């Protein structure tokens, strides 16, 4: 059936008609342009100036160009036959050619002059650095000032520009800057507001996307914006710490897609502290300010400026001793400020939570070259179970001294004194099929701790760090870093084990005396450059790293104290028998080895020598390539058995690892949307193994993990929406495993190095500020992890250390930005974790933690000088667990209240 032509179709037909009329004229005009004249010309070893004269004569045209911008003395040879003039010019002039235009028979050659930069510092009216202020030239380029207020606009062509410094909610500061070829311009900004007024802008929610920091100098060891970095990472800001009334770092890390607490053995020697799942692998906080920093206790949030969670194998830039194949967690600490100020906070809550914090900072001398900052926190909290507590004292002083414009020294120290009962941990049976396969089927009374408040571990730690920054030249900087970390454990480690052959009803309580000291010394020397090579911008880091780790271990045998019922409603008469005095008496009377473990008394030391380099190359303004390489030499100096003064076998060895990294970023829309891809490598040193047969080698090479990843990053809608989506595929090879070998009718168990594992998945992260005062964080991660080649016990199974396959995080908050209720706010969010196969082997079967959803909420009111807040965590009172092959019940519903005063 015939249909009448719609209005839109009529318009389209008319437009097509006019285009068809104009097309022949446009084509004729293009053909008649002198740029399209076909000529033949050839010459050998003549200057660009002479070449242009020859082309002009052949084409009967004249050229107009700048002899100061164009390298007219460069010698060239060419042979062009029947080529358009524009193609000949493009071939001869290359990247110097910016454009061509024709008027009659005159052709204007537009050339690209050498580009320069505009850099400087943004401060408040009272001289304090104004962090994260946006500085830019409309339609040309923009950037964000760093935490110290410094900014740099690179690749700016000659001309006069209006440069603006803007911050949501504040008036824009504008200044004129004239850029000459190859000359950098210094341009500083001072906001009309003082530091307190700027802080009030942030307090009242008017900072655009306050949960986003778009630049990092540590993730790639280079100052790269997120859109320029081919690697995926999440930054957790201090704004989120404050809003969620953070007293435990684990709680705030839940805002990172793909991160979940796996296990907490706070205080335990060697592998104490908290482990997290990340891309199917366990990891823990092992770096502070990009250099080694560990603890057997916990990380206090009082001195944290932000946390960077770097995803994927990161051995190329950070080595194999402090990272895992899932990535790394790096804590960035607070730094001195050049204005005097202080902040005092108190938090209280159920389960006897009492926490007092103080943050004091300012300049020491008149010219503000010497600055200091001091953070202190005293923390104590009981348990939701019948026994258990943790208490700590944290002190973190830092000073910085600027000798001159080129040289600055920063020195940090952190002292952490911790004592507490180790968290309740029940180990699953390991040598028979599980009877109960979920926590509910066990029917245990999880309000019991199975310990006593005098069964404690002390876990003090100290970190000393120094950093010397020297500006060698306009393009080169030197950074020398030093850290020394000492962590100790002293006390009784206690845990439970399901031992029954035919029932899960009884659990065995075990005790062990632990005396441990670990010392890590790290020295790094980095040279950073930002320069032009071959007409392309190169941001380079080249570094040397020396890492020494020593451990002293003095453990008693692991002893069975008693066996008690764990069943709900059945209280064993001897449940209260476990005390420190009885445990110490039992250990003192015991000699020799127990079935659970022999006494250990040894000393070990390792050295790692590394050299690495990375280059982020701007092939064009939109296309960036990153090339990185590390060579790592590991030396174990052996483990000395201090009981016999004999070096243990197979503990002295050396290994060399080579770790490459490659990344590509293409900005589809400059500074807004980028596509990225990376290849990343990680490695882990493998000690020798004793083999039952002399002709089978027990020497191995490092394990290797190789990741391929691709995705998209966005910073759109005037920077109100930040989004990252990625797909990754990690393959691990050279994993050791036990394999049976039959020789002469005798079966031997040998160690072979052909095991493999695959971990792949997706990460999505959204951080948005749709309207003033409203902020949103949302994330989803999926992980598929499998031991593709392993021992018969585990092959084809998901590792228990991989955690849940599905994780969701969400947080939304609103702060009233204006009016009588200005500063009043509320937040709501939660976390979903899919089921977790915490036990998964052929012998035992599968033990599953069911999926769960946690909900949290907060109400607060904040002004320039005061903040008052209430927070509810796990408001649905959900019973959930963490652990790898163990059950550790987590905190039920909890409430906390905070008041903070600022001076």
Give 12-67 pLDDT, tens digit per residue.
Answer: 444 444 344 334 433 444 446 788 889 999 988 888 888 898 998 888 888 887 76
Domain count, the chain: 4
Do the domain assignments include residue 663?
no
pLDDT (0 to 100) of residue 16: 47
* Co-location of 326 and 342 in the same domain: no
Q: Are 92 and 75 in contact (CB under 8 A)?
A: no
The domain spanning residue 824 has which CATH number? Answer: 2.40.170.20
* Co-location of 533 and 431 in the same domain: yes
**Three-state DSSP class for 253?**
helix
Ranges under pLDDT 70 in the chain: 1-32, 67-69, 112-114, 139, 168-171, 181-182, 193-208, 593-597
* Co-location of 180 and 234 in the same domain: no
Do the domain assignments include residue 559?
yes
pLDDT (0 to 100) of residue 164: 86
* Co-location of 123 and 68 in the same domain: no
Up-side HSE of residue 478: CA atoms within 13 Å toward CB?
A: 12
* Co-location of 98 and 120 in the same domain: no
The domain spanning residue 271 has which CATH number? Answer: 2.170.130.10
DSSP structural state of residue 193:
S
* Co-location of 222 and 196 in the same domain: no
Do the domain assignments include residue 656?
no
Phi, psi of 742 (to 5 degrees): -105, 125
* Co-location of 828 and 809 in the same domain: yes
* Co-location of 266 and 188 in the same domain: no
CA angle, 492 then 493 then 498, to 5°:
135
Residue 60: count of CB within 10 angstroms of its CB: 10
Q: Are 776 and 811 in contact (CB under 8 A)?
A: yes
**Three-state DSSP class for 593?**
coil
Up-side HSE of residue 697: CA atoms within 13 Å toward CB?
A: 5
Do the domain assignments include residue 512?
yes
| Segments of 383-460 assigned E as strands | 389-402, 407-420, 426-427, 457-458
Q: Are 129 and 136 in contact (CB under 8 A)?
A: no
Q: Which of 278, 298, 330 is the last residue of a domain?
A: 330
Phi, psi of 386 (to 5 degrees): -70, -10
Do the domain assignments include residue 363?
yes
Task: Supply the pTM of this predicted model.
Answer: 0.80
Range of the domain at 138: 116-203
* Co-location of 313 and 199 in the same domain: no
The domain spanning residue 51 has which CATH number? Answer: 3.55.50.30
Quick one: which H or E segment has residue 496?
strand 476-498
* Co-location of 69 and 157 in the same domain: no
Do the domain assignments include residue 318?
yes
pLDDT (0 to 100) of residue 24: 42
* Co-location of 325 and 443 in the same domain: no
Phi, psi of 118 (to 5 degrees): -120, 125
Q: Which of 111, 129, 157 is the last residue of a domain?
A: 111
**Distance from the first to the final alpha carbon of the chain:** 80
Q: Which of 69, 85, 111 is the last residue of a domain?
A: 111
Instruction: Tell which residue, 375, 199, 211, has the closest CA to residue 304.
Output: 375
* Co-location of 60 and 20 in the same domain: yes
Do the domain assignments include residue 478?
yes
Do the domain assignments include residue 391?
yes
């Amino acid at each position: 059936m015939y249909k009448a032509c719609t209005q839109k179709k009529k318009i389209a037909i008319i437009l097509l008609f006019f285009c068809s009329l104009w097309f022949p004229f446009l084509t004729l005009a293009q053909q008649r342009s002198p740029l399209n004249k076909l000529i033949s010309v050839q010459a050998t070893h003549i200057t660009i100036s002479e070449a242009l004269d020859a082309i002009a004569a052949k084409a009967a045209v004249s050229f107009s160009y700048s002899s100061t911008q164009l390298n007219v003395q460069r010698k060239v040879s060419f042979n062009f036959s029947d080529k358009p003039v524009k193609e000949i010019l493009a071939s001869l002039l290359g990247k110097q050619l910016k454009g061509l235009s024709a008027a009659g028979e005159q052709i204007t050659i537009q050339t690209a002059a050498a580009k320069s930069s505009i850099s400087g510092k943004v401060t408040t009216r009272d001289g304090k650095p104004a962090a994260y202020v946006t500085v830019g030239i409309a339609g040309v380029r923009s950037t964000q000032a760093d935490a110290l207020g410094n900014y740099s606009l690179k690749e700016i062509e000659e001309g006069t520009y209006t440069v603006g410094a803007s911050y949501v909610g504040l008036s824009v500061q504008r200044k004129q800057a004239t850029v000459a070829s190859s000359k950098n311009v210094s341009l500083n900004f001072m906001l009309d507001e003082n530091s307190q007024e700027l802080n009030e802008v942030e307090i009242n929610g008017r900072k655009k996307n306050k949960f986003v920091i778009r630049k990092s100098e540590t993730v790639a060891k280079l100052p790269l914006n997120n859109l320029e970095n081919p690697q995926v990472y999440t930054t957790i800001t201090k704004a989120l710490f404050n809003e969620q009334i953070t007293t435990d770092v684990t709680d705030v890390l839940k805002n990172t897609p793909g991160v979940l607490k796996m296990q907490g053995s706070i205080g335990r020697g060697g592998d104490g502290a908290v482990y997290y799942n990340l891309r199917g692998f366990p990891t823990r906080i092992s770096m502070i300010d990009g250099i080694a920093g560990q603890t057997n206790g916990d990380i206090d949030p009082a001195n944290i400026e932000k946390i960077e969670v770097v995803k994927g194998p990161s051995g190329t830039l950070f080595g194999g001793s402090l990272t895992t194949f899932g990535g790394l967690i790096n804590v960035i600490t607070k730094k001195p400020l050049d204005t005097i100020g202080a902040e005092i906070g108190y938090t209280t809550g159920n389960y006897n939570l009492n926490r007092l914090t103080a943050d004091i900072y300012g300049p020491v001398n008149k010219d503000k070259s010497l600055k200091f900052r001091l953070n202190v926190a005293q923390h104590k909290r009981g348990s939701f179970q019948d026994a258990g507590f943790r208490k700590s004292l944290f002190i973190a002083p830092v000073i910085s001294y600027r000798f001159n414009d080129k040289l600055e020294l920063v020195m940090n120290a952190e002292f952490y004194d911790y004592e507490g009962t180790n968290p309740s941990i029940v180990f699953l049976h390991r040598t028979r099929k599980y009877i109960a396969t979920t926590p509910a089927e066990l029917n245990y009374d999880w309000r019991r701790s199975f310990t006593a408040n005098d069964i404690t571990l002390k876990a003090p730690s100290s970190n000393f760090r120094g950093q010397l920054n020297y500006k060698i030249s306009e393009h080169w900087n030197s950074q020398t870093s030093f850290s020394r970390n000492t962590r100790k454990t002293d006390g009784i480690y206690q845990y439970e084990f399901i031992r029954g052959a035919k029932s899960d009803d009884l659990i065995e309580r075990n005790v062990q005396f632990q005396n441990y000291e670990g010392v890590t010394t790290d020295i790094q020397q980095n040279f950073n450059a930002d320069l032009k090579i071959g007409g392309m911008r190169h941001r380079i880091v080249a570094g040397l790293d020396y890492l020494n780790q020593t451990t002293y271990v003095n453990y008693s045998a692991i002893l069975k104290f008693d066996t008690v019922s764990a069943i709900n409603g059945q209280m064993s008469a001897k449940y209260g028998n476990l005390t420190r005095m009885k445990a110490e008496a039992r250990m003192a009377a015991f000699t020799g080895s127990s079935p659970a473990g022999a006494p250990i008394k040894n000393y070990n030391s390792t050295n790692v020598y590394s050299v690495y380099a990375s280059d982020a190359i701007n092939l064009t303004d939109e296309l960036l390539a990153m090339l990185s390489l590390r060579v790592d030499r590991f030396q174990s100096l052996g483990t000395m058995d201090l009981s016999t003064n004999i070096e243990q076998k197979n503990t002295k060895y050396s290994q060399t690892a080579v770790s490459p990294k490659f990344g590509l970023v293409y900005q589809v829309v400059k500074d807004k949307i980028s596509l990225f891809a990376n290849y990343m490598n990680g490695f882990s040193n493998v000690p020798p193994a004793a083999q039952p047969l002399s002709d089978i080698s027990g020497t191995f090479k490092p394990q290797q993990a190789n990741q391929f990843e691709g995705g998209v990053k966005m910073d759109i809608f005037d920077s109100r929406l930040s989004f990252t989506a990625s797909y990754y595929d990690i393959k691990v090879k050279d994993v050791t495993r036990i394999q049976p070998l039959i020789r002469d009718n005798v079966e031997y168990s040998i160690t072979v190095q052909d095991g493999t594992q695959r971990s792949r998945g997706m990460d999505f992260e959204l951080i948005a500020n749709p309207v003033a005062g409203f902020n949103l964080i949302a994330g989803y991660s999926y992980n598929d992890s499998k031991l593709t080649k392993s021992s018969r016990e585990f092959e084809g199974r998901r590792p228990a250390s991989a955690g849940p396959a599905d994780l969701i995080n969400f947080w939304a908050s609103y702060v009233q930005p204006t009016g009588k209720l200005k500063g009043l706010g509320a937040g709501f969010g939660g976390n979903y974790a899919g089921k977790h196969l915490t036990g998964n082997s052929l012998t035992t079967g599968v033990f599953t933690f069911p999926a769960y959803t946690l909900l949290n909420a907060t109400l607060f009111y904040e002004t320039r000088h005061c903040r008052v807040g209430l927070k509810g965590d796990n408001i649905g009172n959900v019973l959930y667990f963490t652990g790898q092959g163990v059950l550790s019940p987590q905190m039920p519903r909890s409430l906390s209240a905070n008041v903070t005063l600022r001076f």
